[in-house]
Structure 1
Amino acid sequence: MNLTSKNISKAASVFMMVCLFIFSNAHIAKAQEPVSNVHIGFCYPLSTNGSRAGEYTNNASFHVLAGLSKEEKAFSYAGISNVVRDKVSGFQFAGISNHVKNAMKGFQYAGIYNDVDTIDGFQFAGLLNRSATVKGFQFAGLSNIVRNDIDGFQFAGFSNIDGGNFKGFQFAGFVNKVRDVDGFQFAGFVNVAKKVRGLQFAGFINIADSSDHSLALVNIIKNGEKSIGVTIDETQTTVLSFRSGGRVLYGIIGVGGNWKTSTSYMAFEGGFGAHLPLSNSFRINAELTSLYLEDWKKGFYYKNTFRVLPSIRITPRIELFGGPSLNFSSTDTEDGKKLIENDFWNDYSGDEKRQLFIGYTAGLQIGF
C-alpha cells in the first residue's frame, strides 16, 4: 500500500474524531452524575433520590433510619446508619454506624461503629472504629483498629490495634499494639511495638524491639537491659528484684522480706529508674520506688523512696551499686514504728505514724 499525504491526513482526521467522541461521552457522563442539594428520606429507597440514591452526590442528607449515597459534601444524618459509596466531607452523624468506602474529611460520629478507609479529621465511635489510614483524632469507647499508618491522637477505652506506624499520642485503657512509634504511647496494662522513638508507658509491661524511654514495671526490650539483683536498705529489708528497660529508663519489680523485728514480713517493691552514664563502667542510677511490708495480719507499712545510686560494673554483666535515699514511710504497726528511730520529721494521726528520713540502698545485680 502506498501512503500518500492525503491518506495520512484522512487517518489523522479519523483518529481525532474518535478521541473527540470518547472525550465528549466521558464529559457528558460526568455532567449527568446526579447532584442533590438536600436528600431527605426514611430509608433506602424511600427518599427524595429514590432507587438511584447510591449514584447521588449530596450537600446535605437527613434520614430517619438509614441513608445511601455516592458522596456527601457538607452534612449527613441518619438515625441508624449512613452508607456512602465514595467519600464524605463535613459532618456525619449516625445513631449506630457510618460506612464510607473511601475518604472521610471532617467530623464523624457513630453511636457504635465507624468503618472508613481514610480519615482526615475527627472520628468518634461509642464502641469501635475501623479504618485503613488516620490523620487527626480518633476516639472509641472500646477499640480502634487501623490497618496502616496513623498521624495524630488515638484514644480507646480498651485497645488500639494498628498494623502500620504511629506518630503522635496513643492511649488505651488496656493494650496498644503498633509497628513503630514516634511520640507517646500509654496503656493501662501493655504496649507492644517494634521501634519506639519517644516515651512508652504501661501499667505493667512494655514489649518492643528498641525503646530508650520505656516505663513499666516490666519492660521486654530486645535491644535493652535486663538484670536480676539483690538490695538491702536502712530497715534491713532485703529484696530480690528484676530491673528491665531501655538505654535510659527502666522498671523495677521485686519481692523479699524483713526480719529485723519480732515479726517476719514479706516485702513487695515496684518502681521506675533512669540511667545517667558517666563512662563505660560507671554510671548513676536514680530510682523512685514504693515498698510494702505484709505479715498477712492487721496493719500496714509502706515506704516511698527516691534514691541516687552510683554504680560500677566489675564485669560486663555484674554491677555493684549503693547510695543515699530520701524516704517517706507510713505505718500503724508497732513493729513498723520501730524500724526507723532517727528521722528529721514525724507525725501521728491516730495509730498511724508518718516519717521523713534519710536512708541508704546497696546491692548487686547481674545482667542478661
Structure 2
Amino acid sequence: MLYFIRKAKLFVALSLLMITQTDAFSQAKLAQVVKMPAYGKTSVGQLLEQLQQDKGLLFSYNSQLIDLDSVVQANAHNGVLIDYLERCLGPRYSFKETASHIIISRSDWRMVVEQVDIDLKQHNKTMISGYVRDLRSNKPLSFASVYDKGTYLNATLTNKDGFFELDVKKPDSKVIIGLNKENYRDTTLILLLPIDVSKDSKTKKVGYYVLVDSNRNIYKTFLGAAFSNASQRIQSANLGGFFIYSPYQMSLTPGLSTHGFFNSQIVNKVSINILGGYTAGVDGVEFAGGFNLNQYKVRGVQMAGGVNVVGGDVSGVQIAGVGNVVLRNVKGVQMAGGWNKVDTARGLQLAGVINMAKEVKGGQLAGGVNYAKDTVQYQLAGVMNSGGVVKGIQMAGGINIATETAGNQMAGVINIAKKVKGVQVAGLINIADSSDYPIALFNWIKNGRRQLGLFADESGFIGVNFRSGGRVMYSILGMGTYLDHDAYKYGVEVGLGATLLERHRFALSVELSQRMHMDKDMGWKDASRSSLQLIPSLLLSSHFRAYVAPSLNYSQAAEVADQDGKPLWKLWKADAKNNTFHGGLTAGLVYQF
C-alpha cells in the first residue's frame, strides 16, 4: 500500500468530472432562481437592460464581441439564471461573476481532457499529466493554460501536441485543475485521489478583474512587450481577469519567482523583485531593482529603479527611476526621473522630463514637458505645458498651450489658448480667441483689440504704433522719428495699456510706455523717456478714433549738465541738458480693426 501511495502511475478511472463555465462553488448570482416573462423577439441590449432593471444585475462584456442589436428569442422561464442566459444568448457565450458584475464572454469552442495520469510522489507532490484537445475537431490544443485551482501554486501551458504536466503541491484527496484558453469555454477537471494527504486548511481568496477593454493591456505597450515573453502573454489571454491573493512573492526575473509560472495571476501584499517581477497586482508594497509588471491594480507603494508598468489602476504612491506607465487611473502621487504616463491622474504627477495624461484632477510638475489632453488643475514645466482645459495656472519657461480654456498663463516665450479667464503673461507673444488681461510684447487676441495709430507729441516726435490685446489690457509697440533734436533721431516704444471706460462713442484708457532712443546712425543712446498717459478718445466712425492725451514724463538727457544728477521739474517739455520730470501732450489718430 505504501508503494501505491508513493509511486502509483494510473489512469484515472476512479473519478473524473468535467465542469465547464466558472467554478460551481461561486455561482451566487448565476445560480439564483428567476421567473421571467416571455419577451418574444428582442435585442440582446434590451434583454440585458431588462434584467438590470428587474433583477438588479450588472453585466460586463466586450462590445467588439457581443452585438447588442442582434435579435434573440426570450421565452418565459422559471429556473436558474444561467440556464436562462444560455437559452437566450446561445451556446457560444459563457458567463462568470464577480462581486458586482456578471461577465459575458464569447466562447465559440470547447475543449476536452484525455489520457489523464496521476504520478504520486514523495514530499507531498503529485504530477498530473494529460492531453487537451478541441472537442469538435479532436485536434490537440497548444498553449492552453493548466493550473492547480486548489492551491494556485503552479501552472503550465500545453505543448504543440496538447500535452501538459502539472506538479500539484500538497494535494488533498480531491485535486481541482483549471484549464483556460482564449475563445474556449473555461473547463474544470476534478480528480478524486485514492489516498488522503495532510490537508492545508488555508483557503486562497480568489477574484476576477472586470476587463473594460481587453485590447488595452500591458502587452500592448512597448515596455510590457519588452519585459514579458510569449508564454506569459498566452497565459494572460487564457486566464483573463482571474486572480488570487497571496501574502508575498519574491523573484529574480519574471520567470524565476516563488509563484512559478502562475505569478502573473497573483495579487501580493509584499512583492520583492531583484531584477524584475511580473504579478497580477499589489495590495501593499512592491520593490524592484529594475522593473515591475502588473496586469491589473496596484494599491499601496510601488518603487522601481527602472520602470513600473501597470495595466489597471494605481492607488497610493508610484516611484520609478526612469518611468511609470499606467494604462488606466492613478489616485495619489506618481513620480519618475524620466516620464509618467496615465489615463487619469487624481493627485500629483512629478517627472524629470515629461508627464502625459488624458485627464489630471490635480497637478503636473515636469522639468521638461507636461501634457494633459482634456482637463488639468495646474501645470508647471521647465519647457512646455499643453492641456485642454486648465482650471488653474500654466507656468512654463518656454510655451503654454490650452486648446480650450485656461485660468492663468505665464510663459517665458509664448502663450496659446482658446479662452483665458485670468491673466495671460508672456515674454514675447500671447495668442487667444479671448483674453481680457494679456501682457506681452505682442498680443493677437481674436476677439480683442487691434489698433494702428499715428501720433505726435510735444517733443517733436512723430511715430506709428500698434496696440494689441484684450477687452481690458493691451500692449503697445511703436517707432518714429524726431523732427528736430540735437541728440536723438529715432525712437522705439514699448508699453502697456488698460481700458478704464468704454461707451458707444467715447473711451478712456491709461498707458505706461518706455521710449528708447537712437542717433541718426541707428546707434542706441543711453537715455530713454518714460510716460504715463491718460487717453480720452472719440469714435469718429466704425473704424477711426481720435485723441488728445496729457502725459506725465521722465526724460533722460543725452548729456547731463548738472553734475549732482538731480532731475528738474518742468510743467512743459523736457530740458535738453538735464533729466526732467515734465508734462506733455500727445495727439493721435487710430484705425481699429
Assess same fold via TM > 0.5.
yes
AA aligned to 1:147 is K
In structure 2, do the counterparts of structure 1 residues 38 and 283 end up closer, same or farther at CA, with 3 Å as the change threshold?
farther
Determine the structure 2 residue equivalent to 1:265. 489
Answer whether contact 2:559 2:578 (CA < 8 A) is retained: no
Determine the structure 2 residue equivalent to 1:178. 402
Partner of 1:193, secondary structure, is strand
Determine the structure 2 residue equivalent to 1:216. 440
Determine the structure 1 residue equivalent to 2:313. 87
1:243 maps to 2:467: yes
Q: Name whichever of 116-125 and 223-232 sits farther off.
A: 223-232
AA aligned to 1:33 is F
AA aligned to 2:510 is A
Determine the structure 1 residue equivalent to 2:383. 158
1:57 maps to 2:282: yes
Determine the structure 1 residue equivalent to 2:349. 123
1:367 maps to 2:592: yes
Q: Distance in 2 between matches of 1:354 and 1:118?
A: 60
Q: Distance in 1 between matches of 2:579 and 2:246?
A: 73
Q: Distance in 2 between matches of 1:293 and 1:360?
A: 19
1:188 maps to 2:418: no
Q: Name whichever of 99-108 and 224-233 sits farther off.
A: 224-233
1:319 to 535, 545, 557: 545
In structure 2, do the counterparts of structure 1 residues 222 and 39 end up closer, same or farther at CA, with 3 Å as the change threshold?
farther
Q: Distance in 1 between matches of 2:467 and 2:583?
A: 24
Q: Distance in 2 between matches of 1:335 and 1:259?
A: 22
Q: Distance in 1 between matches of 2:291 and 2:279?
A: 12
In structure 2, do the counterparts of structure 1 residues 48 and 292 end up closer, same or farther at CA, with 3 Å as the change threshold?
farther
Answer whether contact 1:211 1:221 (CA < 8 A) is retained: yes
1:148 to 374, 385, 393: 374
Determine the structure 2 residue equivalent to 1:113. 339
In structure 2, do the counterparts of structure 1 residues 121 and 43 end up closer, same or farther at CA, with 3 Å as the change threshold?
farther
Determine the structure 2 residue equivalent to 1:307. 533
Q: Which has the higher strand share?
A: 1
1:202 maps to 2:418: no
Determine the structure 1 residue equivalent to 2:569. 343
In structure 2, do the counterparts of structure 1 residues 16 and 40 end up closer, same or farther at CA, with 3 Å as the change threshold?
closer
Answer whether contact 1:276 1:284 (CA < 8 A) is retained: yes
Q: Distance in 1 between matches of 2:412 and 2:391?
A: 19
Q: Distance in 1 between matches of 2:307 and 2:578?
A: 61
Q: Distance in 2 between matches of 1:178 and 1:254?
A: 29
Q: CA deviation at 1:77?
A: 0.9
Alignment of 1:25-36 (within 5 A): 29-30=207-208, 33-35=243-245
In structure 2, do the counterparts of structure 1 residues 101 and 359 end up closer, same or farther at CA, with 3 Å as the change threshold?
same
Alignment of 1:327-338 (within 5 A): 327-330=553-556, 333-334=558-559
In structure 2, do the counterparts of structure 1 residues 318 and 40 end up closer, same or farther at CA, with 3 Å as the change threshold?
farther
AA aligned to 2:353 is L
Q: Distance in 2 between matches of 1:60 and 1:311?
A: 69
Partner of 2:327, secondary structure, is strand
In structure 2, do the counterparts of structure 1 residues 314 and 139 end up closer, same or farther at CA, with 3 Å as the change threshold?
same
The structure whose Rg is larger is 2
Q: CA deviation at 1:18?
A: 6.8
Answer whether contact 1:35 1:57 (CA < 8 A) is retained: no
Answer whether contact 1:261 1:335 (CA < 8 A) is retained: no
In structure 2, do the counterparts of structure 1 residues 36 and 64 end up closer, same or farther at CA, with 3 Å as the change threshold?
farther
Answer whether contact 2:518 2:524 (CA < 8 A) is retained: no
Partner of 1:167, secondary structure, is strand
Partner of 2:374, secondary structure, is coil
Question: Considering only aligned residues, what root-mean-square deviation do their CA atoms show, in Å?
Answer: 3.3
In structure 2, do the counterparts of structure 1 residues 147 and 36 end up closer, same or farther at CA, with 3 Å as the change threshold?
farther
In structure 2, do the counterparts of structure 1 residues 18 and 37 end up closer, same or farther at CA, with 3 Å as the change threshold?
farther
Determine the structure 1 residue equivalent to 2:157. none
1:294 maps to 2:518: yes
Answer whether contact 1:206 1:219 (CA < 8 A) is retained: yes
Determine the structure 1 residue equivalent to 2:326. 100
1:45-88 deviation line (CA, Å, top 9, x unaligned)? 55666652241233111111111123221211111111111111
**What's the TM-score, normalizing by structure 1?**
0.83
Determine the structure 2 residue equivalent to 1:349. none
In structure 2, do the counterparts of structure 1 residues 316 and 95 end up closer, same or farther at CA, with 3 Å as the change threshold?
same
Q: Name whichever of 47-56 and 286-295 sits farther off.
A: 47-56
Percent of aligned pairs with the same residue? 34
Q: Distance in 2 between matches of 1:336 and 1:159?
A: 50
Answer whether contact 1:44 1:66 (CA < 8 A) is retained: no
1:174-196 deviation line (CA, Å, top 9, x unaligned)? 22222222411222222222233
1:12 to 78, 87, 90: 78
1:319-345 deviation line (CA, Å, top 9, x unaligned)? 1123222333445x32899xxx95269
Q: Which runs of 5+ in 2 are unaligned?
A: 1-34, 39-75, 86-94, 104-204, 210-241, 265-277, 572-576
**What's the TM-score, normalizing by structure 2?**
0.53
1:281 maps to 2:521: no
Q: CA deviation at 1:308?
A: 1.1
